[in-house]
Structures are given as structure tokens and as C-alpha cells.
Amino acid sequence: MEIDALTSAYEGNQVVQAICDHMANRDKNQTETKLHRMLTHLENDGFDFKRGEVIGAFRALETAGCGKYVEGRHGWPSRFVWETKSLHVSSVAKGQVSLAPDTSSNDDGDISEDIEFIEHAFVLRPDLPVSFELPADLTEHEASRIAAFIQTLPFGEG
């Protein structure tokens, strides 16, 4: 990790600052951060950044040696893979350099970031495609449960 590049990115880029500040408020480290999850977190934190702005911030973090931005392909989501503990990156960016990065495990507090998802598209009607994400390791039992749930959704005959 290049400390000067990271602190410069933090001081000069509002999106990098928002990402680092969000990560600093977490209790545990992450090994990767999905782009769509970070957009949601930043929106919940009161920011209205565009997808391209967050990608640019991830690229700035990549340039600073904090990890690698991976563009989503073939059903895999776009994500930032941390090479350094995410909480350590936040403290270094803010100038609170510690000699030993935090080694606590990663935990999102909701959906685990370790679960890989695949986006599925389905044409429900000729003019109405729908898409959803399901775990890459979806079991037959889980698929049956989802199918049973979907059968409860319609409100009428038709």
C-alpha cells in the first residue's frame, strides 16, 4: 500500500473519502466489496454518487495499492478485492496509521460478502424482462423453496 497515494486520494476525492469513512465505521474487515453493495451503503450514508464515480474511487484505491477493482463479467458482480485489511486502509487514509492492521474477520452484518451471486434474466412477458441474483451454489431444495414462494405471489386468477 502506498500511503502517500492513499492519503492524497482521500484528501482529493470525495468518493474515496466517503468509502474510507464508511469502511472505518464497520466493525469487521472485508476481503471484497461488491460495487452494488457499496452504492447502497453510500446512499444510506446520505450520498448520491453515480456508479462511475464509485468505480473511479475504487480505481484510485487500486492505484494506491489497496486492492484491485474487478469488473463484473459473465454473471459475476463488479467488486473491489482488498489486498490490505479494509479497516487498516481507512485508518491509513485518515492519517491514523497503525503498525499492525486489524485482523478481525469480515462481516457485512447482513448478506455475507463471501457468497458469490449470479444474475439471472428471465423474459416474463415479451415486453417485460425481469432479473434477480441467486447464490452461485443454489441447491435444488433452495430452488424448490423459491418456486413455492413465487407461486404465492399472484393476487388473482388470470
pLDDT for 113 equals: 52
In the chain, where are the structural domains located? 3-93, 117-151
On whether the CB atoms of residues 61 and 89 are closer than 8 A, the answer is yes
**SS3 for 134?**
strand
**Which parts of the chain have pLDDT scores under 70?**
85-88, 90-115, 157-158
Taking Cα atoms as reference points, which of 34, 21, 22 lies closest to residue 112? 34
Q: What is the structure's pLDDT at 58?
A: 87
Q: Find the farthest-apart pair of alpha carbons in the chain and give their distance in angstroms, rounded.
A: 65
- Could you say which architecture CATH assigns to the domain 3-93? Orthogonal Bundle (1.10)
What is the predicted pLDDT for the residue at 75? Answer: 74
